[in-house]
């Protein structure tokens, strides 16, 4: 049974990572060989697939990963802070970008299951964070530019921005059940 679970998790991980882009290895290898050491990111360049509160909190920290995916509903009792500067696909010369995937997908990149991240307060300090495919249940506080909530995602709570500029830089196509305001 343990072997079956490991194979299942590996299969789901491959499906989620496939959606992250076919050029991830090329971008990572290119960054590792062509960028000077001082310009390379200290963060791990691969996605972090998590299913526990502690692992999620570590993955979204400044020392975490550029993409974080959960494989089931996750509840965290304390505030979560998404911090640090990360680049698309971990490439040091890539655009500043970070993603939280609250879903599983099939080989055709279609969402097959959506998950809920329950947290009392979710603070965004990473620039260009995209939350996709599921629900954050709790209030979201945005302190960085470029926050994105696509139509596949929901905030079951309030969405607060620390300034009008940050609110203007956000792209909110998903559902917010509470208020959206500058606070």
Phi, then psi, of 76 in degrees rounded to 5: -125, 130
Chain-centre distance for alpha carbon 143: 16
Percent pLDDT > 70 in the chain is 74
Does the pLDDT value for residue 27 go beyond 80? no
pTM over 0.85: no
71-127 confidence digits (pLDDT tens): 999 999 999 999 999 998 878 888 999 999 999 999 999 999 999 999 999 999 999
What is the average pLDDT value for the chain, to the nearest integer? Answer: 82
Task: Please indicate whether residue 111 or residue 29 has the higher confidence score (pLDDT).
Answer: 111
pLDDT at 47: 66
Q: Is 53 exposed, middle or buried (0-12, 13-18, 19+ CB in 10 A)?
A: middle
Residue 12 CB neighbours (<10 A): 17
What is the three-class DSSP state of 51? coil
């Amino acid at each position: 049974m343990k072997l079956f679970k490991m194979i299942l998790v590996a299969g789901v991980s491959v499906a989620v990572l496939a959606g992250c882009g076919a050029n991830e290895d090329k971008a990572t290898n290119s960054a590792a060989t062509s960028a000077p050491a001082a310009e390379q990111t200290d963060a791990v360049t691969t996605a972090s697939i998590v299913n526990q509160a502690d692992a999620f909190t570590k993955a979204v920290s400044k020392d975490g990963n550029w993409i974080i995916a959960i494989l089931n509903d996750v509840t965290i009792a304390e505030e979560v802070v998404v911090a640090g500067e990360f680049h698309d696909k971990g490439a040091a010369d890539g655009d500043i970008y970070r993603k939280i995937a609250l879903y599983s997908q099939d080989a055709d990149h279609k969402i097959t299951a959506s998950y809920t991240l329950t947290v009392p307060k979710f603070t965004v300090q990473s620039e260009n964070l995209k939350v996709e495919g599921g629900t954050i249940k709790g209030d979201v506080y945005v302190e960085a530019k470029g926050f994105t909530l696509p139509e596949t995602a929901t905030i079951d709570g309030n969405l607060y921005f620390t300034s009008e500029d940050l609110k203007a830089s956000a792209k909110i196509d998903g559902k917010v059940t509470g208020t959206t305001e500058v606070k």
